[in-house]
Amino acid sequence: MLRYLLSALLSVSTVGLFSTALAPSSADILGWWNAATVASGAASGYVASRTVIRIEELDESGLVTSLEEAETRLDWTKPTPEAVVVNAVKNGKDVTEEWRKRYAKAAKDQAKSGADGNSAASGKGGPPGGFDATPFDPKYSRGLSRGQPSLVNAGVEVPYVITTDAGPVEGIASFSGSGAAFGATQRWSKPPVFVSSMSSTMRYAYQDRMLFISGMQIEGETSILFIKRRFRMGFEFSDWRKSAR
C-alpha cells in the first residue's frame, strides 16, 4: 500500500514540476502579447462583410423574454461600403423592413454628424472613447498593464487592465500553449450612462497573419429610474475585406 502511495505522490510531484517547467516566462508573455497586438493592428484596415446579430432581453432569473436575430452584409458596389440588412426576425416575426429603416436612419445621422464635425472621438462615428477598448488594439497598448499568467488546461490566461477615458477595463486574455491569442473576457468598471453593468467575451481568429475578432458577446443591465433590464448581444463576424477608406 505504501509503495502505491509513494508512487502516486511521486507522479503528482513530477506533474507539478513538469507544469512549472512549461509555464511561460514574462518574456514569453510579452512576446505573445506584442505579436497579437501587431497582428491586430495589421487587421485594422479590414471590415467584416458579413455580420450575424443576436439580441436577447432577459428577466431577473436569466430566462430569455425577447429574441431578435438579424444578418447584415456590406454592399461593396457603392463608393463607400454600405451595410445591407439581409433579414431580421424578432420573436418569430419578420422585421427586416424595420431594421432596414433603422440602418438607413443611422447612416443618414452618421453622415450628417461627420459633415458637421460632431462625430465620435475617432472621427468616424462609433462608440465613445474607451468603450471600444480590447486587449490587443494598438490604440490602447500604452494604457494596458498585465498581471501574472496562469496555466489553464492546455492554455495560458493573462489578466489585464486597460486605462481609458471611460475608466478602467479589467479582463483576462487567453492564449494557446504555442502563444496564439484565441479569446478574452472583460468588464467595464464605469459602464455607459444608464447601464449599471457591462461585460464582453471575444473570440479571435487568425487570417494571413492578421488577428480578427470573429465573435463577440456583450452582457449587461440597463437602469433607468427604477426600471432595470438585462440584455445579451451576440455578434459573429466573417468575410473580412480591406476597406478603401
Show the cell assigned to 149: 499568467
pTM over 0.95: no
pLDDT, position 21: 42
Report the C-alpha gap between 159 and 145 in whole angstroms.
Answer: 9
Instruction: Please name which of 177, 180, 182, 184 lies closest in space to residue 146, comparing C-alpha atoms.
Output: 184
Interatomic CA distance for residues 31 and 37, integer angstroms: 10
Closest CA to 175 of 56, 24, 10: 24
> In whole angstroms, what is the distance from residue 138 CA to residue 14 CA?
40
CB atoms within 10 A of CB 62: 8
Find the range with the poorest average confidence among 21-30, 119-128, 152-161.
119-128
Work out the number of other CB atoms within 10 angstroms of the CB of residue 213. 19
Measured distance CA(197)–CA(173) in Å, rounded: 20
pLDDT at 46 over 50: yes
| Residue 75 contacts residue 84 (beta carbons within 8 Å) | yes
| pLDDT single digits (tens) 126-152 | 666 678 999 999 999 999 999 999 999
**Which DSSP letter does residue 243 get?**
-
Residue 212, all three cell numbers:
480578427
Map 36-52 to HEC letters. Answer: HHHHHHHCCCEEEEEEE
Contact 198, 190 (CB under 8 A): no
Whether residue 82 has pLDDT greater than 70: yes
Amino acid, single-letter form, for residue 227: I
Q: Is the pLDDT of residue 30 over 50?
A: yes
**Distance separating alpha carbons of residues 157 and 183, to the nearest angstrom:** 9
Q: Residue 5 above 90 pLDDT?
A: no
Instruction: Name 154's Cβ contacts closer than 8 Å, sequence gap at least 6.
Output: 176, 177
For the record, the C-alpha cell of 18 comes out as 513538469
Phi/psi-derived region of residue 72, left when phi > 0, alpha when psi is between -120 and 50, beta in every other case:
beta
Measured from the Cβ of residue 214, the count of other Cβ atoms closer than 10 Å reads 19
pLDDT-based confidence at 158, cuts 50/70/90? very high
pLDDT at 94: 98
- Report residue 104's pLDDT band, with 50, 70 and 90 as the boundaries: very high
Question: pLDDT by residue (tens digit) across 195-232?
Answer: 878 999 999 999 999 999 999 999 998 877 767 789 99
User: Which residues partner with 181 through β-bridges?
Assistant: 175
Of 166, 207, 205, which is closest to residue 187 (Cα–Cα)? 166
